[in-house]
Every structure is written in C-alpha cells, then in structure tokens.
C-alpha cells in the first residue's frame, strides 16, 4: 500500500468533530469506536460479525500478543490482519498499560519496563524501541507510544515524573518508528494525571514532536466522570485540530457522547463485550440486565426499532434463558448486540455533527437512557 | 401448516438410501445429520451459522428444556422454533435417555420415571404421556416415544424387561400423540440391547403399531463399533422401507458412513460440537488436534479444498492460538467447521447413493481418514 496515513476533518459542530482517517488497510469514519480484540480476537464475536456491527477499525493488545503467540510468530504468519482474518484498520496499544495492570513483579526505569508474564512467569523487557518493534511486527495501522500510566490518586511529583518519562519515551518511540511503511501511523499519548498544568505541558511537548495523532491516556481508571471530562476540556484545545484525538479505554455510552462533544475522535473499551458476556445489554433505553427474572417470559426483542437484526429478532426471554443457562450463544449475541449499539451511537453522532444537530442528538440520547428500559409486560 | 409428514425414498444403492422428509417446518434430505441443540442452542453456533453449515434439521433435548426454561413457558413464547430463531425442522428426544444419564435419584416404574433435577434438586415425573405433551408444547416436528435405555452389559432378562416396558410406553405415547397437527410425527424406538432376537421382536412390535418413523436406541453407549453395526444389520431389515430410520446418538464420521451403508437415514451426535469446543477438528484426512504444537506456525488452513469458508480461511496457527488461549472464537469456529464437515459427509453420501456410487464414496472417505492429516511444514 502506498496511501499515506491521513486525517480529514469533514464537519464540526461546536467542539464536536466528524472526519475520516485513511490507513494502509482502508478508511474509518470518526467519531469511531474500536472493539477490543485482546488476544487477536474480539471475545465471542467472529470477524464477519464485527463487520456487520458497523465497526471499521479494531484494537489489539500488544501486551497479550507479545506473550502469546509472540510478535515474531505473527509476523512470520503474515501479520496480525491476516492472522486474525481482519482486513480493515487495526490499532495496537503499546503494551504499557496492561503490563502495569496484569503482569507480575514489574520494574520501571529510564530504559524500559521489566516484568514477569502472568501466563508462565517468564521475564520480559519492554522498552520504547521494543514496543514499536512489536507493533511493526504485528503490522498495525496505528501504533501507540510506550508510556507510563500511573494510578490516581498520586502526588503531583509522581504524576510529573511519569509524564516526563512518557515524553522521553515518546521521542524514542518516534525515532524507532522512522521509516515505517506508508499508511502506518504512530500516536503520542498525553499524560499528566488530573493536573491541568501537567496535561497541557504534555500535550504541547507532544505536539512539538509532531505525531500523526494524539491519545489521552491515564483516564477512565476509576475517576469520576466529571474529572475525566474536565481533563478532556483542558487537553483537547491544546492539541492540533488537524490530527485525530483518541481517548483511551473509554467508556460508557454517555462517556462517549460527552467526549465527542469535547472534540474526541476515537475510542476503545472492553465494556460492550465484557458486559455482554455477563448478561448486560446496552440499548437506547439504557442498560438492560438480562439475568433479571422479569425478562423470563417477555417475548419482545431488546429494541424492535434497532437497525441490528439480532437486537430486533431474539426475544428477551430467549436471551434470559441463554444467560441463565450459561450458554455461549448468550455471550455471542449480547457482545454483538452491544457492539452494534456502540456503532449505531457513533454513526448517529457523525450524522448529527455533519447536520449541525449534535446538541439535539446528545439530548435525545440522554433522554432515552434516563427514560429507562420499556416496562415488562 | 397443513402439509402431512411424509418420507420419500429417492434412490437406493444396495442397502443405502437417499430420500427426503417433509415436515411442518419444511423438508430435509436424508441421510441427514442433526446438530444437537441441547438447551435450545447448538453450543457456540448461531442459527444463521448452523444454516450455513448445510444443516436442515436439528435436535433439541426434552430433558434440558423441561427443567429450563420449561415447556409451558416455551409454548407461551410461541414454541421452540420461534424461541430459538430456527425456522426449519426440529426433532426432540423424549427426555428418557438424559434422565437416565444426568438426573439424580431416578426411579422407573410402569407409570413413569421419577427423578430429581441436576440443576436444583426439584422432583419431576416423566411419563410417556408427559413426554409427548412436553414435545407437543415445544412444537417439535418429530417427537420421540419415551423409552427405557439400559446400560450394557446387562442380563438378557433386564434387557428384555426394559424392551417390553419401552413397547408398552410406545403404545401410550402413540395414543397421547393422536390429534397432533399435520406435519408433526412421532417415532418409535427399537430397544433390545445387544440381543438380536429381542431387537427383532422390538422392531416387529413397533412396526405393527405403525409409527411414522423408527429409531434405533440404546446403541453408541460405549460398545465396540462392530457390535453397533451388527445390531443395525439385524434391525434395519426388520423395519418398513417406506419410513425413515434414525440411529440415535451416533457418531464418528466412520460410524455414519457404515450406518448409511446399512440403511440408516438420520443421525444426531454431540461429537462435532463437543470435540470442536475441545480443539479437535474433523477433516477429510481424519481428526486434527489443534492443541498440538506442530500447528503453532502452520499458515495453512485445515483443508484448502473444503467447501466451507472457515475451513479454507483460518490458518492452523490461528486456530491453535485460539485453542491455547482458551478463546471462545476457537470453540465457535471449530464447532461450525466440524458441523460443516459432517454435513458435507452426508451430502456426499446422498449424491453417491443417487449416482449408484456409494461403495466408491465409502472407500474414498475411509482412504482419506486412514491417510491421516497432511504433514506439517
């Protein structure tokens, strides 16, 4: 492929933006939600079903893939797209966040993060250079810099130290990414915890380094929504308008709409699939817990007005039965139903932004969620 | 629906038969393999995927559905077809076999089998009349009589007693089934263990009762293949040629081909889906264990000549990765791949019988299996 990576802003509506991103494996429209394909598979959803939900890009986790099956093996097998039978764009995280949440005995120094695999206890070293190398071996369209994502609450000193280290690692990642094939991009990650000044310092320093896109990291780690949104309010205006902005690991449908209102273009989150596996459906009327006995004899689908066939077809009673009986098909259907809802939500946002009606769309979404689920028969 | 249930013999090749069965929910071609949808779902396979494998009829288990969600509830929700989103024929077993293998504290007398649910310990009574009532509430196209399926080895006396009880229950089931809607059928079940005389006695008594189809029960319960085949050799000629013959719970690809050669028309077995969930694929070249490390870097699909897209598309390396990582997609793909193989095997048998070349087909299948899997690179 020789198409260069690019971002095209199509419309804005106040701070909200609609655009499209061109990559080596085709385009995706923004605001975009990326399903999470942790171990080279979106859990319980087949690739053709992911396409059917409307997803145009997915995320895969470097941490998991570096441990199993290993990036060199994936490269030997023709890269991640071919390996997992997904021919559209893929974004890979750097591995840093999951090293810090999942691995054992980690140690961070200037050079790298060293850790034991949670699978077999083997030692690994993940440097900024290795993080980029792994992502190039996987062949992802969008790679992320290695960063240090610290837990909140933390002292300003600790937040500042981690932010500064992340900036030095950003530079090293950028150097390591030089010469990447056309259509492939590297994004920098804004850190700085809940400190506005540190966030702005991080955003400006990364902007000076000129990345092809910018992520906001270190949020959605348990802080209240207003803290997260106030950080976006601080960071988004400090980022260049002509580059995509990605809010990592977010979130609920409401989080997405609020972040879109503040100028975010890309999201990823395990929430639709993880909750789907646990019997929770996201709908226009808010979350519906299918474990609840009130669904046991309800012949109605989750939402007969949905554009998604499964959401319109399967009765609540059947979904309840599958969840209670712990049947895999329950996880399959609800994961796909939730991904379809997230995609419909983003599609609605894109259309509203293009039409200049995003405020009304945002209000309508919130009204639906607040109304709650339609009463049982 | 007003189409009556019927069986049409299309071709025979020695003892092997090709035909079609017409039911209230459409037709299916025989020899037919029925995927098992235990709890109103074929484990890890969505209905549209089951259709894609070529299956035209599936089996659901009365024992499981009577416990959860309950036949009255399924009836209230419009019947099993609607409940599980499957608009083609469904055969239900009578519940008897699984009561005897799964339930606690069972007691069998002339009237009924009484047992405790393995789910919650509640007491249930399953009489011939209730077994038919449940299957009518579910709305299955083909219902099975309640029988007593005893374990082998057993004394001739015990086998004879269970066979005689099954005949009396067959009569009671037949009376209970009177007045069923057009297109719905009840099959009798030949019992008699491994005793040829008892098997023939059972087959003749059931034939005198004039069922719409006949099953051979009490086989595939651990006996050697030659015992099973010799019982088919005894029973099949004692059954009327103008009714479908169903060998319950069988089996391996080789079991199916050998039984087809002996005049069997219908099969069901959990083997393709259960083995798929455990990492085993059935192929033209015999079983392939994808847990085996030899597949870890093998870019080739399971069978590039297969008519099934998943079998042709996904690399052995990817399937190995999914199985090792315990990812649901591994169970999903391998279950569907195995069902596709079973359907292709039956389609090949039907075509060969119609062409008068079944012997050559049988030999070619065996040659492929004996050849073993293609060597790794």
Average pLDDT, integer, range B207-215: 98
Residues of A in contact with B39 (CB under 8 A): 321-322, 325, 327
Mean model confidence pLDDT for chain B: 96
- Tell which of B48, B69, B138 to mutate to test the A interface (max A CBs under 10 Å): B69
Q: What is the mean pLDDT of residues A235-253?
A: 98
List beta partners, residue B29: B20
What is the tens place of the pLDDT at every residue in A56-84? 999 999 999 999 999 999 999 999 999 99
pLDDT at residue B24, rounded to an integer: 97
Mean pLDDT on A114-143: 95
> What CA–CA distance (Å, rounded) separates B171 from B210?
10
Per-residue pLDDT reduced to its tens digit, A251-302:
999 999 999 999 999 999 999 999 999 999 999 999 999 999 999 999 999 9
- Chain A nearest-CA distance from B62, in A, is 15
| DSSP states along A51-98 | HHHT---EEE-HHHHHHTT-HHHHHHTT-HHHHTT--S-EEE--SHHH
C-alpha distances (whole Å) from B39 to each of A234, A323, B62, B65, B224 are 52, 11, 9, 6, 29
The dihedral built from the CA positions of residue B6, B163, B66 and B137, taken in this order, carries a sign that is: positive
Instruction: Calculate what percentage of chain B has a pLDDT beyond 90.
Output: 91
CA end-to-end distance (rounded Å), chain B:
55
**Using 50, 70 and 90 to split pLDDT, how confident is the model at A98?**
confident
- Peptide bond connecting B69 to the previous residue in cis, omega within 30 degrees of 0: yes
How high is the pLDDT of residue A273? Answer: 98
The pLDDT, as a whole number, for residue B150 is: 87
Known catalytic residue at A210:
no
Read off the pLDDT band of B96 (50, 70, 90).
confident
Counting DSSP H helices and E strands in chain B, the numbers are 15, 17
pLDDT at B294 over 60: yes
Please give the average per-residue pLDDT across A131-149, as a whole number.
97
Distances (CA, A) of A77 to A41, A114, A141, B297: 16, 27, 17, 7
DSSP SS3 for B80: helix
Task: Give CA–CA dist A375/A354, Å, rounded.
Answer: 34
pLDDT for residue A176: 98
- Based on DSSP, count helices (H) and strands (E) in chain A, helices before strands: 15, 17
The number of beta carbons lying within 10 Å of the beta carbon of residue A203 is 23
- Name the residues of B annotated as catalytic: 93, 268
Report which DSSP code applies to A315.
Answer: B
Between B221 and A348, name the one with better pLDDT.
A348
- Per-residue pLDDT for A377 more than 90? no
Per the residue annotation, which of A141, A147, A255, A268 is the catalytic one?
Answer: A268
* Concatenated DSSP letters of A326-362: T-HHHHHHHHHHHHHHHHHHHHHHHHHHHHT-HHHHH
Q: What is the DSSP letter of A236?
A: G
Q: Which residues of A touch B (CB under 8 A)?
A: 39-41, 43-46, 68-69, 73, 76-78, 83-85, 296-297, 299, 313-315, 317-318, 321-322, 324-325, 327-329, 331-333
How far apart, in whole angstroms, are the C-alpha atoms of residue A148 and residue A202? 13
C-beta separation of B23 from B183 below 8 A: yes
Confidence (pLDDT) at A152 = 85
Q: What is the pLDDT of residue B94?
A: 93
Chain A partners within 8 Å of B84 (Cβ): 318
Backbone angles phi and psi of B162, in degrees to 5: -65, -40
Cβ–Cβ gap B76/A297 under 8 Å: yes
Which residues make Cβ contacts (< 8 Å) with residue B85, sequence separation at least 6? A313, A314, A318, B47
Instruction: Report the candidate in B138, B123, B122, B4 with the shortest Cα–Cα distance to residue B60.
Output: B138
* Residue A60 φ then ψ, to 5°: -125, 150
A76 contacts in chain B (CB < 8 Å)? 297
Confidence at residue A62, expressed as pLDDT on a 0 to 100 scale: 96
Could you tell me which of B249, B100, B50 has the C-alpha nearest to residue A332?
B50
- CA B50 to chain A, closest CA, distance in angstroms equals 12
Please report residues of B whose CB lies closer than 8 A to that of A322: 39, 41
Average pLDDT of span B266-273: 98
Strand partners, A216: A190, A247
The pLDDT value recorded for residue A372 is 87
SS3 B308: coil
Instruction: State pLDDT tens for residues A169-225.
Output: 999 999 999 999 999 999 999 999 999 999 999 999 999 999 999 999 999 888 899
Of A45, A318, A327, the CB nearest to B83: A318
**What was the pLDDT predicted at B101?**
83
pLDDT 10s digits, B117-155: 989 989 999 999 999 999 999 999 999 999 998 888 899
Quick count: other Cβ atoms within 10 Å of Cβ A130?
A: 20
∠ Cα B275 B276 B280 (to 5°) = 70
| pLDDT score at B17 | 98
Do the strands A142-144 and A90-92 form a parallel or antiparallel pair, or are they unpaired? parallel
Q: Are A44 and B325 a contacting pair at CB < 8 A?
A: no
Q: Which residues of B have a CB under 8 Å from any CB of A?
A: 39-41, 43-46, 68-69, 73, 76-78, 83-85, 296-297, 299, 313-315, 317-318, 321-322, 324-325, 327-329, 331-333
CB pairs under 8 A between A and B: 93
Active site residue A268: yes
DSSP B362: H
Residues 6+ apart with CB under 8 A from B178: none
CB-CB under 8 Å, B299 with A78: yes
d(CA A8, CA B321): 37
Q: Which of B43, B321, B329 sits opposite A44 (nearest CB)?
A: B329
Nearest 5°: the CA angle B314, A186, A25 is 35
Q: Do A44 and B332 touch (CB under 8 A)?
A: yes
State how far Cα B63 lies from the chain centre.
15
Query: Under an 8 A CB cutoff, do A296 and B331 touch?
Result: no
Distances (CA, A) of A12 to A203, A257, A263, A323, A350: 21, 14, 9, 42, 10
Mean pLDDT, rounded, for B78-97: 96
In angstroms, the first-to-last Cα distance of chain A is: 55
Indicate which of B119, B324, B325, B331 best probes the interface with A, i.e. most A CBs within 10 Å of its own CB: B325
pLDDT digits (tens, 9 = 90+) for B313-367: 999 999 999 999 999 999 999 999 999 999 999 999 999 999 999 999 999 999 9
CB A187 within 8 A of CB A94: no
As a whole number, the mean pLDDT across chain A is 96
- HSE at residue B267, side-chain half, CA atoms within 13 A, is 28
Q: Which of B148, B156, B131 is closest to B66 using CA atoms?
A: B131
Residue A151 has pLDDT above 80, yes or no: yes
What average pLDDT score do residues A96-101 get? Answer: 85
pLDDT band at B376 (very low <50, low <70, confident <90, very high): low
Q: In 3D, which of B302, B289, B372 has the Cα closest to residue B340?
A: B302
Q: Which residues pair with A214 in a beta bridge?
A: A188, A245
Q: Which residue has the higher pLDDT, A239 or B371?
A: A239
- Sheet of A104-108: strand order equals A104-108, A113-116, A123-126
A317–B40: do the CB atoms touch at under 8 Å?
no
CA angle at A336 for the pair A332 and A337, rounded to the nearest 5°: 115
Angle between helices B225-235 and B196-209 (to 10 degrees): 40
**pLDDT at position A376:** 58
- What gap in Å lies between CA B231 and CA B192, rounded to an integer? 9
CB contact under 8 A, A321 and B39: yes
Token pair for A320: 């309840």
Three-state DSSP class for residue B121: coil
């Amino acid at each position: 492929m020789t198409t260069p990576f690019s971002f095209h802003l199509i419309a804005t509506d106040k701070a909200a933006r609609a655009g499209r991103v061109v990559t080596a494996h085709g385009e995706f429209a923004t605001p975009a939600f990326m399903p999470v394909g942790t171990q080279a598979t979106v859990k319980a959803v087949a690739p053709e079903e992911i396409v059917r939900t409307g997803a145009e890009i997915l995320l895969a986790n470097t941490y998991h893939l570096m441990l199993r099956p290993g990036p060199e093996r994936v490269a030997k097998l023709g890269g991640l797209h071919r390996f997992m039978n997904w021919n559209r764009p893929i974004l890979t995280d750097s591995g840093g966040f999951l090293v810090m949440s999942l691995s054992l005995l980690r140690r961070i120094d200037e050079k790298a993060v060293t850790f034991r695999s949670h699978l077999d206890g083997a030692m690994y070293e993940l440097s900024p250079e290795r993080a980029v190398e792994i992502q190039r071996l996987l062949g992802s369209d969008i790679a992320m810099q290695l960063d240090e994502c610290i837990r909140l609450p933390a002292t300003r000193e600790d937040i500042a130290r981690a932010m500064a280290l992340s900036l030095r690692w950003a530079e090293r990642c950028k150097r390591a990414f030089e010469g990447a094939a056309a259509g492939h991009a590297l994004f920098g990650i804004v850190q700085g915890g809940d400190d506005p000044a540190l966030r702005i310092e991080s955003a400006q320093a990364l902007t000076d380094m000129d990345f092809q896109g910018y992520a906001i990291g270190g949020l959605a780690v348990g802080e209240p929504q207003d803290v997260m949104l106030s950080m976006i309010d601080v960071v988004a205006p400090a980022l260049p308008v002509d580059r995509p902005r990605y809010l990592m690991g977010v979130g609920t449908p409401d989080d997405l709409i609020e972040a879109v209102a503040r100028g975010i273009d890309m999201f990823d989150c395990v929430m639709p699939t993880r909750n789907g596996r646990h019997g929770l459906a996201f709908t226009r009327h808010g979350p519906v817990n299918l474990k609840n006995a009130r669904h046991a004899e309800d012949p109605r689908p989750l939402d007969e007005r949905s554009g998604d066939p499964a959401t319109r077809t399967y009765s609540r009673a059947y979904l309840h039965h599958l969840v209670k009986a712990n049947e895999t098909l329950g996880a399959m259907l609800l994961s796909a139903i939730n991904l379809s809802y997230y995609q419909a939500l983003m599609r609605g946002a894109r259309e509203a932004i293009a039409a200049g009606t995003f405020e009304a769309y945002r209000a309508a979404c919130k009204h639906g969620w607040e109304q709650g689920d339609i009463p049982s028969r």
